[in-house]
Amino acid sequence: MIVNGVDGDPKPTHFVLVPFLAQGHVIPMTDLGLLLASRGATVSLITTPVNAARIRTTIDRAAAAGLPIRFVELDFPCAEVGMPEGFENVDVLTTHKQIQYGQDFFKAAALLQRPLEHYIEQQSPRPSCIIADLCHPWTRHVARNLRLPRLTFFSMCCFTLLSFHNIWRFKVLDGVKDDKEPFEIPGLEQRILVTKAEAPGMFGEWEEMAEEVRQAEFEADGIVANTFEAMEAAYIAGYAEAMQKQVWSVGPFLLGCTPAFSDKAARGNRAVVDVPQCLSWLDSKEAISVVYVSFGTLTNMKPAQLMEIGSGLEAAGHPFVLVIKDGERSREVEEWAAELEEKVGPSKALLIRGWAPQAVILSHPAVGAFITHSGWNSTLESITAGVPMITWPHFGDQFLNERLTVEVLEIGVSLGVKVPMSWTDLEEQGPVVPRDAVEEAVRSLLDDGHEKGKKMRERARELREKAKEAMAKGGSSYLNMAHLIEQFAQNDKKREEVNGD
Ligand code: UDP
């Protein structure tokens, strides 16, 4: 076991963070760890060698800043479940089209139970609390065995969590005719219609996993969410009431991670572009003129679909940054990308082949719209940057996040996709979204004189200011974080009095 990081005087409260090993989970949990440590708690963030290598800059920056955070590398037992060595992050499975290992990956993760218990047992004084990702339901056994409190971390908003919960609780799916029949989500503030195809449950057909996760959720001592009250107070309260648990809304984490201890450009991975060059490309553009296009870390576009997006962007006539993931790259795509760059010109098109410094790009004033798959992290990053979205959900929580963006917050336009496209979907198919739809959506947000776009931008900016207020000293998320740390400090004290440990 390798432990990186500062090991100074143990602070009274010690949180053990266990992120699920997918970028959309590792990134916010790392931000949460940095935040807790910057607020005076000790943090052990559980990771693996491959994942730690990706965030080396973050580890070094935190150590240089003297933050009491340790990055604990446990060996990921690939061989024990028959997976090739190095398959330590879900994006490796999608990149290599190794989807047959999907369920093995969860089995390997569950085998971390004993090494994690071993690490916790070695700590003196005992840690205060485990904060574990929802995709690690096995951590409830660790908490029970070691008699530690456990909070569940959801990389989702409470609107989506409450929606999933209510659809399950009121057995709504039992009453729908087919995948396409719209139904109203019960128990929400607002009338929201979805279909079973869009909201089949958190784990879709994977009922066994869904049940495990539900169990872990019910047994948890509370819930930590990367969200803030001014954005969705009713849904945070509604979810807390439905679960009969405290929901700690302490986000957006990104806004609390200052350059003093966190490098925005190195979140999750090393960017393939030179960041200063990328920034000077953006500097050369007018304010609110650039479209940023990226679909997260797990959805892989087919070449024909990428080409269709490219044509739509070209026709809209605004400069754009298009991210092409490693898993999407092929000779055909490379040839097309080179042609597109030549045709549109380097001043109009910036194509990033691999990992993009997304949070840095989104917060640049030149960016005026984000075409996104509506992953929660991407959505929240857009909100914290005040950038309206063009939404194209693919699977999981993304359709519900789209509803929040478009119907509740009214800071986005939908591309109208109704059929999920999972990362396990490998069969060839033609483009789902035509170039005209891409062009129209971009124009609706960025062309002069579009009232709708202007209103959305105003609302997005207001929300950005509220997000900043929430994270600033005295703001709702700032205070919630203080209460969270204080509660576990008190808890430790009581435990010490009772048990002497
Ligand atoms: N991300 C990034 N660069 C990339 C692709 C993704 O920084 O090239 C980050 C993005 O900023 C976000 C996370 O990866 O923090 C993706 O999480 P999200 O929930 O949006 O989508 P997922 O990948 O989980 O579907």
CA distances from 181 to 167, 321, 396, 433 (A): 14, 36, 18, 21
Give the lowest-confidence range in 303-307, 358-362, 375-379, 438-442. 303-307
Burial of 64 (0-12, 13-18, 19+ CB in 10 A): exposed
Ligand 1 neighbourhood includes 355 CB (under 6 angstroms)? yes
Query: Quick one: pLDDT at residue 97?
Result: 66
Mean pLDDT, range 377-383, rounded to an integer: 98
Task: Note whether 153 and 131 are within 8 A (CB).
Answer: yes
Query: Quick one: pLDDT at residue 421?
Result: 83
> Distance from the CA of 327 to the center of ligand 1, in angstroms?
14
AA letter at 408: V
> Distance from the CA of 375 to the center of ligand 1, in angstroms?
7
179 has a pLDDT exceeding 80: yes
Mean pLDDT, range 459-481, rounded to an integer: 98
Burial of 329 (0-12, 13-18, 19+ CB in 10 A): middle
CA distance 417 to 399: 9
Question: Considering only CA atoms, which of 134, 161, 172, 162 is closest in space to residue 150?
Answer: 134
Query: Quick one: pLDDT at residue 432?
Result: 87
Q: Looking at the CA of residue 378, tell me the nearest atom of ligand 1.
A: 20
> Distance from the CA of 294 to the center of ligand 1, in angstroms?
8
379 has a pLDDT exceeding 90: yes
Query: Quick one: pLDDT at residue 201?
Result: 83
> Distance from the CA of 26 to the center of ligand 1, in angstroms?
10
161 has a pLDDT exceeding 60: yes
Give the lowest-confidence range in 102-106, 155-159, 212-216. 102-106
Ligand 1 neighbourhood includes 377 CB (under 6 angstroms)? yes
Q: What is the pLDDT of residues 399-456, one digit of tens each?
A: 999 999 999 999 999 999 998 886 656 556 678 899 999 999 999 999 987 888 899 9
Helix, strand counts (H, E) of the chain:
20, 16
Query: Quick one: pLDDT at residue 210?
Result: 87
Mean pLDDT, range 196-225, rounded to an integer: 90
Q: Looking at the CA of residue 25, tell me the nearest atom of ligand 1.
A: 24
> Distance from the CA of 22 to the center of ligand 1, in angstroms?
10
Mean pLDDT for the chain overall: 93
**pLDDT band, residue 24 (cuts 50/70/90):** very high
Q: Whose CA is nearest to atom 11 of ligand 1?
A: 358
What is the reported pTM?
Answer: 0.96
- The total number of residues shown for the chain amounts to 501
> Distance from the CA of 5 to the center of ligand 1, in angstroms?
25
Q: Looking at the CA of residue 323, tell me the nearest atom of ligand 1.
A: 8
Task: Note whether 295 and 372 are within 8 A (CB).
Answer: yes
Q: What is the pLDDT of residues 294-309, one digit of tens each?
A: 999 998 888 999 999 9
CA distance 222 to 244: 9
Query: Quick one: pLDDT at residue 426?
Result: 53
> Distance from the CA of 148 to the center of ligand 1, in angstroms?
31
> Distance from the CA of 46 to the center of ligand 1, in angstroms?
20
Q: Whose CA is nearest to atom 15 of ligand 1?
A: 377
Ligand 1 neighbourhood includes 297 CB (under 6 angstroms)? yes
Question: Considering only CA atoms, which of 50, 60, 17, 328 is closest in space to residue 155?
Answer: 17
Mean pLDDT, range 235-258, rounded to an integer: 97
> Is 0.95 exceeded by the ipTM?
yes
Mean pLDDT, range 59-68, rounded to an integer: 94
Query: Quick one: pLDDT at residue 23?
Result: 96
> Distance from the CA of 426 to the center of ligand 1, in angstroms?
21
Question: Collapsing DSSP states into helix, strand and coil, what is residue 339?
Answer: helix
CA distance 241 to 59: 37
Dihedral sign for Cα atoms in the order 144, 243, 178, 194: negative
Ligand 1 neighbourhood includes 376 CB (under 6 angstroms)? yes
Ligand 1 neighbourhood includes 62 CB (under 6 angstroms)? no
Residue bearing the bigger pLDDT, 497 or 416: 416
Q: Whose CA is nearest to atom 2 of ligand 1?
A: 358
Residue 100 CA from chain centroid, whole number: 24
500 has a pLDDT exceeding 90: no
Query: Quick one: pLDDT at residue 365?
Result: 97
Ligand 1 neighbourhood includes 487 CB (under 6 angstroms)? no
> Distance from the CA of 174 to the center of ligand 1, in angstroms?
33
3-state secondary structure 154-184: ECCCHHHHHHHHHHHHCCHHHHCCCCCCCEE
CA distance 293 to 324: 9
Give the lowest-confidence range in 9-13, 66-70, 384-388. 9-13
Ligand 1 neighbourhood includes 294 CB (under 6 angstroms)? yes
Looking from the CA of 196 toward its CB, the CA atoms found within 13 Å total: 13
Query: Quick one: pLDDT at residue 501?
Result: 59
Ligand 1 neighbourhood includes 370 CB (under 6 angstroms)? no
Q: What's the token pair of residue 159?
A: 């609107």
Mean pLDDT, range 20-26, rounded to an integer: 96
Query: Quick one: pLDDT at residue 300?
Result: 86
202 has a pLDDT exceeding 90: no
Burial of 468 (0-12, 13-18, 19+ CB in 10 A): middle
Question: Collapsing DSSP states into helix, strand and coil, what is residue 448?
Answer: coil
**pLDDT band, residue 466 (cuts 50/70/90):** very high
Ligand 1 neighbourhood includes 27 CB (under 6 angstroms)? yes
Q: Looking at the CA of residue 297, tell me the nearest atom of ligand 1.
A: 23
Pairing of strands 2-5, 129-133: unpaired
3-state secondary structure 220-285: CCCEEECCCHHHHHHHHHHHHHHHCCCEEECCCHHHHCCCCCCCHHHCCCCCCCCHHHHHHHHHCC
Mean pLDDT, range 384-412, rounded to an integer: 97
Ligand 1 neighbourhood includes 359 CB (under 6 angstroms)? yes
Integer distance in angstroms from the first to the last C-alpha of the chain?
25
Q: Looking at the CA of residue 269, tell me the nearest atom of ligand 1.
A: 7
Q: Strands of 69-73's sheet, edge to edge?
A: 2-5, 69-73, 42-47, 14-18, 129-133, 150-154, 223-225, 247-249
Ligand 1 neighbourhood includes 25 CB (under 6 angstroms)? no
> Distance from the CA of 490 to the center of ligand 1, in angstroms?
36
Q: Looking at the CA of residue 355, tell me the nearest atom of ligand 1.
A: 8
Mean pLDDT, range 472-489, rounded to an integer: 97
